[in-house]
Amino acid sequence: MTTIALTAAWVAFLLGMAWYVAVLDGLWAAAREGRSPRAPLANPLYRCATMLRHQSNLTEAPDLLNWRLAPALYAGLAGTGVALVPFSSTNVLADLDVGIVWWGAIEALTVVIVFLHGWSANSQFGLIGAYRYVAIGLPVMLISMFVLIATALPAESLAIPKIIESQRGFWNVIRQPVGLPLFLLLGLSLSFRGPFNYADSADVAGGTAAEVSGAPRLVWEFARLAMLTAVAAVAASVFLGGYLGPWFPGPMWLVLKTAAVLLVLVGLSHQLARISPSRMMTLIWTVLLPLSFLHLVWAGVLAL
């Protein structure tokens, strides 16, 4: 595939999956609320149009530059995350030989950007959302690093394509069963959904987005969906063998697996309650992090 075709595929993948998540959200919510969904396929587009029609809001003396940059950067990071994922053994947009390290950088910069988004508005609810997001976003990052390093052991490489190739025998989800669930928690945290929605939840009136309206909000909400897509694509590649699979061509497998992971992620974000940030911080450090240690030991012993 030429670079052009590859880029086109990447754009289609990003937009398509974001739309798919939005639709899934609507359907799942309707099912949970015990009512019939409303124009499930088109609703995301309608909402986009509404946000675009809204006037973009300002606050008293905001940090305007960072306020406008944060959504854009967030979307950009999500884009690079998807670009790391190979569609097939030969077709990868960014064949970086330290792919999972770049992914780590994406996680770190996401925390910075969400903080900036909440800080820049100069409003108390935005600040509360931003600060408690940092408290959770930082430690969750450690878990995902351990989990990704565990997948790099059998592959003897930090490159995502090599990690995929190392799963020709067994998928990592079989060899390292705890890895995928832990990584999905990271996904919820990176796009602050459901039990990890400490940034933009309703108890702080929308948190970092409480003062945002119009196009900036549209970009922000899209970036959240795009980031979730990136997480799912990476999870599908690193744990579910990405493009590997019988019968269908590689890209199709990637799409199917990503869609499946997204289904699980959306489900989790609707099914789980959120605990107070203080207790979540304790839970991550004292339960989830040691669990990821054990996971790494298990993976290490298995790899030898």
Partner 1 sequence: MALTGLLTIMGTIVAGALLLQWVAARARRDRVVESQKIPFLGGSAPQTHAWQRFHVRYYSMTLLFIAFEMEMMFMYPWAVVYVAEGVKALAEMGMFLAILTVGILYGWREGIFRWQ
Partner 2 sequence: MLERLAARAPVPVFVAMGRDRAPAVERLLQSADIDVTATPRHASILLVAGRVRDSDQAYLDRIHDQLPHPRATFWWGDEQGDDVDEAQRAASFDDPVISLRALYRNLISGAHASETHRLADEPPAPWRGKGDHGQGGEGMMGGVPYGRMMPMPPTPDIRDGLALDVYTTQIGPFMPYWPAGLVLEVTFQGDVIQSAEVVHPPYPPRDVDRVPFDRLLHETTALAQVERARAAHHLVCIARVLSLVGLPTLSRRAQILAVRVRANERVAIEPLRKAAARAGLRAALAPGLGRIDDRLARELGGPAQRAAGDAIDDRSDNPTYTRLDFTPVTQTKSDCRARLAQWFNEAEQALALVSAAPDAMMDQGALVEAPWALRAPPIDYRVTELLPGLEWSEALLVLNSFDSAALCRMAPLEVP
Partner 3 sequence: MNVTDIAFWIFAAIAVVSGWRVFCTDSMVRASFLLMLSFIAVGLIMVLLNAPYLGIATVFMMAVEMMVMALFMVMYMMNPAGLNPMMMVHQHRFSIAAGVFLFAALAGLIIVTRFASNPVAPGTEVVAGLGKELLGDSMLIFETAGVTLLATMVASVILSSRSGRFGAADTGSVPPPLEPGGEPAGRQPEQGGGHAHHHH
Taking CB under 8 A as the criterion, which residues in 265-284 touch partner 2? 270-279
Q: Which is nearer to partner 3, 130 or 268 (CB)?
A: 130
Which candidate, 263, 234, 258, 237, places its Cα nearest to that of 88? 237
User: Is there a contact between 195 and 275 (Cβ–Cβ < 8 Å)?
Assistant: yes
56 binds partner 3 (CB under 8 A): no
Four-CA torsion 249, 255, 258, 264, nearest 10 degrees: -110
Which candidate, 202, 265, 274, places its Cα nearest to that of 229? 265
Binding piece for partner 1, criterion CB under 8 A, among 22-30, 176-184, 193-201, 283-291: 283-291
Identified binder of partner 2 from the candidate list 2, 4, 36, 247, rule CB under 8 A: 36
Identified binder of partner 2 from the candidate list 8, 46, 64, 290, rule CB under 8 A: 46
What minimum distance in Å lies between the beta carbon of 139 and partner 3?
A: 11
Backbone phi, psi, residue 75, to 5° = -65, -40
- Interactions with partner 1, residue window 13-52 (CB under 8 A): 52
Q: Which is nearer to partner 2, 60 or 301 (CB)?
A: 60
Please report the sign of the dihedral spanned by the C-alpha atoms of residue 255, residue 70, residue 220, residue 204: positive
Identified binder of partner 2 from the candidate list 16, 104, 195, 251, rule CB under 8 A: 195
Q: Which is nearer to partner 2, 49 or 302 (CB)?
A: 49
Identified binder of partner 1 from the candidate list 21, 153, 182, 190, rule CB under 8 A: 153
The three-class DSSP label of residue 58 is coil
The site partner of 153 among partner 3, partner 1, partner 2, none (C-beta below 5 to 8 Å per kind) is: partner 1
**Residues shown for the chain:** 304
Count of residues of this chain found to bind partner 3 when the rule CB under 8 A is applied: 26
- Interactions with partner 2, residue window 127-186 (CB under 8 A): 127-128, 131-132
Which candidate, 148, 146, 115, places its Cα nearest to that of 285? 146
Identified binder of partner 3 from the candidate list 9, 98, 263, 303, rule CB under 8 A: 98
User: Is there a contact between 262 and 229 (Cβ–Cβ < 8 Å)?
Assistant: yes
What minimum distance in Å lies between the beta carbon of 28 and partner 1?
A: 27
Complete DSSP assignment for 123-183: -HHHHHHHHHHHHHHHHHHHHHHHHHHHHHHHHTSS-HHHHHHTTSSS-HHHHSTTHHHHH
Task: Give, in degrees to the nearest 5, the angle at Cα 92 between 14 and 21.
Answer: 20
109 binds partner 3 (CB under 8 A): yes
Identified binder of partner 3 from the candidate list 122, 206, 213, 298, rule CB under 8 A: 122
Q: What are the residues binding partner 3 (CB under 8 A)?
A: 61, 63, 66, 96-98, 101-102, 104-105, 108-109, 111-112, 115-116, 119, 122, 131, 134, 138, 141, 156-158, 278
